Amino acid sequence: MQAAHPDMIVHYVVQEQMKGQSEAIRLAREFIHGPTLIAFSDTLIETDLGFLNDETADGIAWVKTMPDPRRFGVVETDAEGWAVRLIEKPQDMSKNNVVVGFYYFRDGNQLIDAIDEQVKRKIQLKGEYFLADAINLMLGYGARFRTQKTEIWLDAGIPEALLETNRYLLDHGRGNHDFQAEMGGVTIVPPVSIAPGVRLECSVIGPHVTLGEGCSITSAVVRNSIIDAGTQISDIVIEGSLIGRNVNLQGRAEKLNIGDNSWMEM
């Protein structure tokens, strides 16, 4: 954040125990006052926030219509479009306005009060306190919430969705096409994003590939994949894969999801 946004003041609060979204927000209570935006870290949306200066609702949940909402949370609304309740991970598909993990609260203190009540009453699911339940408490106290639709929602909660998000960003101008390979025999098939310090030799990179700083790719074909910083790959064809940091990978064609600091030979 400091490198990308040096003019912003950023505070970090660590959630030592995974007790859910509401508990994470509660830990940051000293920084939450007045108008508040909450964005989940595994989601990206495109939206215009200019209307918020004139907003009169107590809160807004951004939503997108999805054919299968069961992995997410949904909003049930009345005939006038006001939120009646939020349902986390519904078991049926009758309500499909999926909450995309982006919220506005006119008064962050009211949200914290609702979370305090949620924790006091132990309103949780499988040991976690979900933000949807805190919002439902606010609705019960008379808060007026509405929904705001977005057509562009990029989810990064599972590997397939993360790769889809990577493809969308690269297709919409987030790549770089001027990378100059330091060694010969390299073909770049845009769109790609290649960080500084990447070394390429006798390889085909792209389309839809993101390479982190300091990667080394030799005698390989990489398509539709994200390779994190410091990873070394050779003698392999990779497609539809996520590879973590400081991985050493060599072998044959595979589809892989590999964590940080790994070593593999195939």
Please give the DSSP secondary-structure letter assigned to residue 82: B
Q: Specify the pTM.
A: 0.78
CATH no. of 159-265: 2.160.10.10
- For strands 187-188 and 97-105, give the pairing: unpaired
Closest C-alpha to 104, from 44, 57, 65, 150: 57
| In the chain, % of residues over pLDDT 90 | 66
As a whole number of angstroms, the distance between CA 16 and CA 256 comes to 29
What are the boundaries of each domain within the chain? 21-155, 159-265
CATH fold of the domain at 21-155: Spore Coat Polysaccharide Biosynthesis Protein SpsA; Chain A (3.90.550)
Give me the chain's average pLDDT, please.
Answer: 89
Burial class (CB in 10 A: 0-12, 13-18, 19+), 233: buried
- Measured CA to CA in angstroms, residue 129 lies from 22, 83, 115 at distances of 5, 20, 9
- Got the DSSP string for 25-68? HHHTGGG--SSEEEE-TTEEE----GGGGG--SSEEEEEEE-S-
Q: What pLDDT does residue 225 have? A: 96
Q: Which residues contact 220 (CB under 8 A, 6 or more apart)?
A: 203, 204, 233, 234, 235, 236, 237, 238
217-230 pLDDT tens trace: 999 999 999 999 99
166-203 pLDDT tens trace: 999 999 888 886 666 555 789 999 999 999 889 999 99
